[in-house]
Structure 1
Amino acid sequence: MLKKVIFFLFVNQFIFSQQLDFDFYIGKRKETKTFSFKYIQQGILNLDSNTNISATIEAFKLSYKTKNNFNSYLTLFSTRTFFSGKKNDKLNTLSSILNPFGGSLNLNIHSLIPIKIKEDLNLSLGVKIGKKLIEAQAIYFPIDNKAFFENYINIGSLIQKKIIDDPLNNTSLFFWGYTNLFLTKSLKKNREIFFDNELNSLSKGYGLEIGVQYNKSFKIMLIGNKILDTMKNSKLRKIIFQLSISYKLLK
């Protein structure tokens, strides 16, 4: 396991991931380009429709932003599930896969390409790159397998809307919506061990995320993701909803 973790941290070729992570900024920037690095940035509490409760820490984020509102982020998340209400290992594992912040380690690159910029509204094309280490319970021999890598391809459209921005009273409220299409992939043997082949090695799906951010530190997100090409009568076909509450630990 240690060798897998070391390899993961130094991997230099990323696969797309479905994780929405951006800073709100309405209108054009004055700076030509900026880099920033932050660590232990935010904590996130997650509850999904499979009754899984998990906690996430954003370990670090390297940001690159330009005057024309092109944004790119390299981020490392770590998520632990501490309660699973359903005794269905396949559904619980799928919850970790479809959780945008899921995985014991979740290293990703996320870029936002501006389409339309107004004083109180931004429209962008989102592209995500990442790789997750998923810890799960095997249901098929060898049952001592406890983890696997999952890769993603994701592209979508993002809208950011300023509702309130009052610097004098230090008050702000922003809304965002994000719709996307994604591919998710792992080795065929992992699909056999953890899903009994109910999930294809390469599967496609779609997702929707809406949320609000208050005072640049508190976020509430409602996320829905659905796999499209599972077996006809599989429970994995249903959409998984997730409520996430995020608080910025360091500013």
Structure 2
Amino acid sequence: MMKRLEGKVSVITGGGGGIGRATALRFSKEGAAVVVADLDDASGEETVRLIHEKKGNALFVKTNVRESESIQSLVHTTVEHFGGLDILINNAGIGQSEVRSIDLEENEWDAVLDTNLKSIFLGMKYAVPELMKKDGVIVNVSSLLGLKGRKFVSAYNAAKGGVILLTQNAALEYGKDNIRVNAVAPGVIDTNIINGWKKDERKWSAISQSNALRRIGNPEEVASAILFLASDEASFITGATLSVDGGGLIF
């Protein structure tokens, strides 16, 4: 049976762990060459090792998604190594200190917005010229908290909400070039970003069941949604945001 991403070249930012790693492994399984972009050498190389272990094709490129030059280098290296670029997954992101909006330090606001939103802009800015040559696909990782507000996460809310509108904007601008641009909005997923919540027994009891399915999700479940949007099965879907939250948005 034909693999869904056979012959495709993909870049996955934040590919060293969590949703990024799960997506990288799933893409490789479906036949894609995978460029793992991450700031952490050890985790990025580990993802590549796991792909090579399964006889997949992968390359690690150390990347700071907040820096224009680093993203340009990522795209250039991908094209030089694999001959082109078909799929961009803008996944890299960080959380924030849980404080009232006015108590958030300005430098943390900047870090969250640069990592979670500016990185999406930079990724698309430098990847789109290559994606135009391939009828490419972009999937941006937003969040349930990009669709609804929550106390004490103002920067994260603002950034992830921005991702959704930036996704719609790009879908409108580049649809004529046969580039599809969509987003996923994960709910509470079992990744490092929620480790702090797990340590608070009282809070975790509520957070871990704050959706219709009454459980948290796993990275592989989000990877499945990203794979669908990146594949030809979603050929008439663009500008959409797919919630992967166990019903968190309606809870």
Q: Same fold (TM over 0.5)?
A: no
TM-score (norm. length: structure 1): 0.30
Instruction: Identify the structure with the greater strand proportion.
Output: 1
Structure of higher CA gyration radius: 1
Give the TM-score normalised by structure 2: 0.30
